[in-house]
Structure 1
Amino acid sequence: MRAPAVSGQFYPRNKNDLLREVSRCFIDVPRTRKNVLGAVVPHAGYIYSGKAAAHVYASLPDAGTFVMLGPNHTGYGSPVSVSSETWSTPLGGVGADLDFIRALPKRIIYQDETAHKYEHSLEVQLPFLQYRFKDFKIVPICMGMQDEETAMEVGQEIAEAVHKVDKKIVVIASSDFTHYMPDKVARENDKYYIESILNMDIPGFYQRLQKRDASVCGYGPIAAMLATTKTLGAKKATLLNYSTSGDATGDVSAVVGYAGIIMEC
């Protein structure tokens, strides 16, 4: 059992408080299920990024399995690690899709729980999924290596596993955008990076990140999600919501950017 590492920090520890907080994130967010293959969602504390995340989760179809890709902030574990444990949150347990994990070619994705033990980027997504859906499984993948070659290979492995299993899959990339820059600078930079995501241009995305020395923490998961969904037939990317931490706090001197993006057929 993978125990919660950041409950009481990024989101409430108490079940009822957590339900109220997630519900608050969905206020005034339209719920329209679309044929979504993949998405980009933030992973900050709910008070900061919950609204951007809710825009994505409100649009997701009811899938049997959610493949979750997140950056490795802790440095523990294998370079690219998949967890096969059941994950616990204050809302209950969520099981891993063991059939899907067995279907992964495992050329670069290794089964390793160490990388996941203290990592928050995937954990914070689960209460949103639990709030929206009743019966689903997860494939949590943590990426310590995020270079373009690695991201492409991770995307290819996931796509191959999708073709082997007979179920609806949605790929979620967990990432925040610009970190600790003035609000105006963060918005300008993030618009520049997001443009390449909306164009589904993976090489261009990496070029733009390098050109502006980006602090986008989950760029590898974003690229791997793009690689997977393009292989699976994604034709359109849409930005549903963008905000910064300044929108929540009023402090625009040093913000973090958050984007909710979906990939559709």
Structure 2
Amino acid sequence: MKRGFLSLIGLVLSAVFISWCYPNHTSNTETQSVRPAAVAGQFYENDPIQLAQNIHQLLDRERVVLSGSKIIGIVVPHAGYSFSAATAASAYRQAAEQQVDVIVVFAPSHRDYFQGATITPCAAYETPLGLMPVDHAIVERIVSLNKNIRISSLGHQAEHAIEVQIPFLQVLFPHAVLVPIVIGDVTEYHAAESMAADIAKSLQGKRVLLVASTDLYHGYSYSDCVAINKRTVAAFTALQPSKLFNGLKTGQYQACGGLAVVMMENIALALGARTAELLALTNSNDVTGERGGYVVGYGSIMVTTGTTSRSQEEKVEFRPLPIETQKTLLHHARMAIAEYMSNQNIIKINQPNAFLQEKRGVFVTLTKDGQLRGCIGHHETDVPLFRLVPQMAVAAAFEDPRFPPLSKNELDRVKIKISVYLTNVYPIKSIHEFQMGRDGIILRKNGYSATYLPEVPFDAGWKTVEEELKSLCLKAGLPPDAWKEGAEFWVYRTQVFDESLMKQ
């Protein structure tokens, strides 16, 4: 990050100065008031120095995956920072070096019911880092164009979904102005489309970043959370807001700020967006390492002007893991399953070495009596191995929807195999670049996707690439020949090791 500790101190000093210049009160003209921080000390740190340091640390952990494209919009979660700020940082980091004049934040209303959308009458949003001014010239333009958008404190007074985004924006874009829009009840897609079109008109000529604030699944089923989150973010990245709107209404997709995403994507498309990419996906159970009880999904996405962004990322190779590190992962995978079976907790590997701190993709496969008993993995390079392997071991044992949860009398009969990625997931232009048995493969088409690890063709006895691709299409829920036209392919390579290694 170019912005270091000096900018952190400057931000804090300016926060003190601006707060002094603009005392928090309501004057005779409502637009001269300040919307005070409502969830500081609850959702994020109340101390400005600690808050700024935390945000810088979160951003510094993320790598830039965008090349040659401009980010128009992002989707970020809005839970407490201890749960979802790291996921949000993965999106904010991508936009960090862009020049931005205006930031439009779209969020749901968790407390107030109203129809259409509202924009705060206040002149600024306040956080411990100071004030972020609201651009009321743009606001007046928007409300003059669309009767479904009005200036009102409804949805803003105690709402956290916008406020938790503001500290990130203040750190990254200290000179930008804010347009905070809370979305209420919108029953017809054409109303959302109309509002988005008029907002887009009001932003012409500005350097804009659109932010959609939303969490994903809310409920008590971890397996439902994982499945519905994947389905929902696939709809987000398809960049088809009308289909997303309809799926949200039927419950096919679940996101408390789903309408915020619909609005953001409509505007992004009007401003030249061409692709959307998933950056991170997790949930509160995985973050805390505890299963059971209430679980909420978190994801981050970037919407860009390029034909592809992350999909054009060049291949990155990782060093093979030494034998002792392989043994450590196998040992902790088994320990994780046993611990979860007894106490519903996911263990953590203490004092991880440099290899274990690397962020790579992982699959954990369980077999019993030579037959598959569970297989769950994670493609993205966003979680370190010392956290990811125990999580995937537990998921393979208890959350693979193809099998019942592993029982205690099965544990000693199960064998564990781990596939650690030796490359990132990278695109290929032609299926002829794919080498069966060497490469793992991901197929994506029309929002459907599936993957096979490199060793699957050998286990299945397939002789040709076409056999593997037909099976891959069926696994994705597509016709067997769907790979021949309009499909996209990504590949990756893995280092595979199993518990036979423990005898060495």
Q: Same fold (TM over 0.5)?
A: yes
Asked if residue 152 in structure 1 is aligned to residue 193 in structure 2, the reply is yes
Check whether the contact 2:59–2:92 (CA below 8 A) recurs between aligned residues.
Answer: no
Residue in structure 2 matching 1:184, options 223, 227, 245: 223
Asked if residue 45 in structure 1 is aligned to residue 84 in structure 2, the reply is no
Deviations 1:156-187 (A, max 9, x none): 12111112xx3201111110000123332212
Partner of 2:450 in structure 1? Answer: none
Asked if residue 170 in structure 1 is aligned to residue 209 in structure 2, the reply is yes
Check whether the contact 2:212–2:257 (CA below 8 A) recurs between aligned residues.
Answer: yes
SS at 1:69 equivalent = strand
Check whether the contact 1:38–1:170 (CA below 8 A) recurs between aligned residues.
Answer: yes
Partner of 1:75 in structure 2? Answer: 112
Deviations 1:68-127 (A, max 9, x none): 110011116664101242111100101011221122113211011232111110000000
Across the aligned residues of Structure 1 and Structure 2, the Cα RMSD in angstroms comes to: 1.8
Residue in structure 1 matching 2:161, options 104, 117, 121: 121
Residue in structure 2 matching 1:234, options 262, 265, 273: 273
Moved more, 40-49 or 210-219: 210-219
Instruction: Give the Å deviation of 1:248.
Output: 1.8
Check whether the contact 2:113–2:185 (CA below 8 A) recurs between aligned residues.
Answer: no
Letter in 1 for 2:139: I
Per the alignment, do residues 212 and 145 of structure 1 end up closer, same or farther by CA in structure 2, a change over 3 Å counting?
closer
Alignment of 1:5-84 (within 5 A): 5-31=38-64, 34-60=69-95, 61-75=98-112, 79-84=116-121
Alignment of 1:78-97 (within 5 A): 79-85=116-122, 86-97=124-135
Check whether the contact 1:146–1:219 (CA below 8 A) recurs between aligned residues.
Answer: no
- Distance, in Å, in 2 between the alignment partners of 1:154 and 1:250 is 41
Per the alignment, do residues 77 and 185 of structure 1 end up closer, same or farther by CA in structure 2, a change over 3 Å counting?
closer
Instruction: State, as a whole percentage, how many aligned pairs show the same letter.
Output: 28
- Distance, in Å, in 2 between the alignment partners of 1:17 and 1:223 is 34
TM-score by length of 2: 0.50
Instruction: Give the Å deviation of 1:23.
Output: 2.7
Residue in structure 1 matching 2:139, options 96, 101, 104: 101
Instruction: Give the Å deviation of 1:205.
Output: 1.6
Structure 2, unpaired ranges of 5+? 1-33, 306-504
SS at 2:87 equivalent = helix
Check whether the contact 1:108–1:153 (CA below 8 A) recurs between aligned residues.
Answer: no
Check whether the contact 1:42–1:174 (CA below 8 A) recurs between aligned residues.
Answer: yes
- Distance, in Å, in 1 between the alignment partners of 2:253 and 2:286 is 21
Instruction: Give the Å deviation of 1:32.
Output: 6.0
Count of matched residue pairs: 263
Partner of 1:198 in structure 2? Answer: 237
Instruction: Give the Å deviation of 1:237.
Output: 0.4
TM-score by length of 1: 0.92
SS at 2:212 equivalent = strand
Letter in 2 for 1:172: V
- Distance, in Å, in 2 between the alignment partners of 1:202 and 1:77 is 22
Instruction: Give the Å deviation of 1:140.
Output: 0.3
Q: Which has the larger radius of gyration?
A: 2
RCO higher in structure (CA 8 A, sep ≥6)? 1
Deviations 1:164-214 (A, max 9, x none): xx3201111110000123332212111111112211112322343344465
Residue in structure 2 matching 1:223, options 262, 276, 290: 262
